[in-house]
Amino acid sequence: MRPAQSESMPTRPDPATPSSAIQPPATDPTLIFEHFRGSYGSELLTVAVAHFNLFGLLAAGPQSLTYLCHKLGLETRPANVLLTALQAMQLVERADNDRYAVTPLAREHLVPGAPFEVCDYVGLAANAPGVLEMAERLRSNRPAESGDDEGAAFIYREGIKSAMESTALARHFTLALAGRAKNVAPVLADRLSMDNVSRVLDIGGGTGIYSIALLQKHQHLSAVVLDRAEVLKVAAEMAQQYGVADRLELVAGDMFADPLPPDCQAVLLSNILHDWDVPQCQKLVHRAAQALPPGGRLWIHDVYLNDNLDGPLPIALYSAALFTLTEGRAYSQAEYRGWMHDAGLTTSAAIPTLVHCGVLTGTKPIRSSPNEPRR
């Protein structure tokens, strides 16, 4: 029997009332994401033991990244993803800046032939579909295909087929990725200063939820979301739903090639750079910095590995997830700061947001005269 309606029961929102993008969740969903990504740890460990014999390779002594890449048949990006995770699991450690070694834990239990080794036990999962897929992703250094079609699911770049060019798939993936963003956006909007900022460029902004939160928080602000045309169809709906369509401009384009919209005092790269390998990241950071006026700010909102790329474990496993689905991985603050400094920006301390994310600010220096050198 259906219960009678009471004041305590939830009611449907009034469609005439704009939704709020600045109300944060009552509970922190970080643990859910950690559990969801936990399977990548099992897959990476099994691949390292049963497919690569990595611990047997390291048993003879510390080895360089170059040597390991050669022996395992891996390029640098997948080797970094694998070794970062194994360091975070306390199974591999740095013997010095350039070489990797097994830890006492791994030497006793994961080196073939050791008295207490459990390699065959771990190897029981060697042919599990997820393990075989991880091994293939590591060896090929290519993201997983989108459904039954060859090409990438979550990213777009000239020269590769992308689900983001299909109306149905673009809508599905864009809304799926917004599941985390709508939790994090209120916190980001609350912690970013908009002093001297009247217009924000949100590169690869997807649904636009981060910009929408900023617009609801700061009534003086306008924003531009640059993304693929099919993705922006979802952003247009969101702008109407949240009541900011009059201040949110949607521009279809290629962030790597097309001119960036002008007259923006700040550029936001929120959970974008982790989709790309280092050369593409450097290019995007440089393009964003070039588009800024003196005193303008670049915000890199993302997750951060430790600067020595040895964890933390939740980010190392997220890095594995990114690796299998995109052309990128998780990066450290040191890597992001290096790219911003190379682009002529000065950086300040990172500000944490939610679900392991934080925001780094790079500021374009104001030079008092054309001849004054940039510091």
Instruction: Give the residue numbers annotated as catalytic, written as ranges.
Output: 274
User: What is the secondary structure of 17-31 as a DSSP string?
Assistant: SPPPSS---SS-THH
Q: What secondary structure letter does DSSP report for 357?
A: E
> By three-state DSSP, how is residue 252 classified?
strand
Contacting residues for 223 by C-beta, under 8 A, at least 6 apart: 199, 200, 201, 202, 208, 211, 214, 215, 247, 248, 249
Cα separation, 242 vs 316, whole angstroms: 34
Segments of 24-139 assigned E as strands: 63-64, 92-94, 99-102
Query: Which bin fits 90, alpha (ψ -120 to 50), beta or left (φ > 0)?
Result: left
Cis peptide before 129 (omega within 30 of 0): no
DSSP bridge partners of 308:
none
Contacting residues for 297 by C-beta, under 8 A, at least 6 apart: 197, 265, 266, 267, 361, 362, 363, 364
The angle that helices 39-46 and 313-325 make with each other, rounded to 10 degrees, is 80
> By three-state DSSP, how is residue 360 classified?
strand
Using only C-alpha atoms, the chain has a radius of gyration, in whole angstroms, of 23
Length of the chain: 375
Give which of 317, 321, 351 is closest to 333, Cα–Cα: 351
Bridging pattern class, strands 63-64 and 92-94? unpaired
